């Protein structure tokens, strides 16, 4: 028959075999030495007192089983605190529109290059004077006036495409800056638009200089 009694240190109920009567056992809760009474002193109707938490940091090592073969039920570990994840980034309309405008500016830049090359080729070809000399500048102005009069559609297309490219590029630049300053929103589109604008502008300027140099023969 088992002997039931309460721990003097923590007040938790302990149950051991009757063979351990009047012997020392270890409390499975507070690990203090207890003397087993000769008979049960625990009343079934009395509620157990609240358990006191032991002082000091809890040990992760499992407690050794008490004498007599009895072992308290295992207590499930307390769930860990899940890390707080940042909220997902929302859409960035300014960045999306800046990327669309940047792509449109690239197309307009290609159109400007095409119209400009078709208009400047007859202007720079076969000029006998030295580039940069007064004779060369006079011949250049004369040929520009001739091409403008003979091909007003080409000159108008070059002017319209140039103004459209400038306006769209400026709009894309403003939208990309606005998109980069928005907090809590995705900024990849605005950053990509800014890189496209810078790269296309540098490419267009360098390409124009190389084309004019090759045609003029400088």
Residue 62 in domain: no
Report CA 218 to chain centroid distance, whole Å. 49
What is the C-alpha to C-alpha distance for residues 201 and 195, in angstroms, rounded to an integer?
A: 10
| Torsion sign over Cα 95, 97, 101, 104 | positive
CA neighbours closer than 13 Å in the CB half-sphere of residue 78: 4
Partnered with residue 24 across adjacent β-strands are 35
Same domain, 25 and 117: no
Residue 72 in domain: no
Residue 56 in domain: no
Same domain, 123 and 194: yes
Please report, for residues 6, 21, 38, the alpha-carbon distance to residue 26 in angstroms, rounded to integers and kept in the order given. 12, 13, 16
Residue 78 in domain: no
Count structural domains, the chain: 2
Same domain, 23 and 129: no
Helix (H, G, I), strand (E, B) or coil at 157: helix
Q: pLDDT per position in the chain (218 positions), as tens? A: 688 888 888 888 888 888 888 888 888 888 888 888 888 887 654 555 555 555 555 555 555 655 555 666 666 655 655 666 777 778 888 888 999 999 999 999 888 888 877 777 777 666 666 666 777 777 777 877 887 787 788 778 888 888 998 999 999 999 889 888 888 778 888 888 889 988 888 887 887 677 666 555 54
Cβ neighbours of 66 (radius 10 Å): 20
Give me the domain span that covers residue 100: 93-216
Same domain, 115 and 15: no
Residue 144 in domain: yes
Same domain, 118 and 202: yes
Contact 136, 213 (CB under 8 A): no
């Amino acid at each position: 028959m088992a002997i039931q009694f309460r721990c003097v240190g923590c007040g938790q109920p302990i149950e051991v075999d009757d063979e351990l009567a009047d012997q020392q056992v270890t409390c499975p809760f507070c690990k203090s030495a207890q003397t087993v009474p000769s008979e049960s002193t625990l009343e079934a109707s009395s509620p157990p007192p609240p358990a006191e938490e032991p002082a000091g940091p809890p040990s992760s090592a499992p407690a050794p089983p008490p004498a007599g073969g009895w072992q308290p039920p295992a207590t499930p570990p307390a769930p860990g605190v899940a890390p707080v994840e940042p909220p997902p980034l929302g859409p960035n309309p300014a960045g999306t529109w800046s990327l669309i405008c940047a792509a449109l500016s690239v197309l307009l830049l290609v159109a400007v290059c095409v119209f400009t090359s078709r208009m400047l080729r007859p202007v720079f070809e076969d000029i006998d004077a030295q580039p940069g000399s007064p004779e060369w500048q006079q011949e250049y102005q004369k040929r520009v006036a001739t091409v403008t009069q003979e091909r007003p559609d080409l000159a108008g297309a070059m002017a319209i495409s140039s103004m459209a490219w400038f306006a769209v590029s400026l709009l894309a630049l403003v939208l990309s800056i606005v998109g980069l300053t928005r907090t809590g929103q995705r900024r990849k589109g605005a950053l990509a638009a800014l890189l496209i604008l810078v790269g296309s502008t540098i490419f267009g300027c360098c390409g124009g200089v190389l084309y004019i140099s090759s045609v003029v023969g400088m």
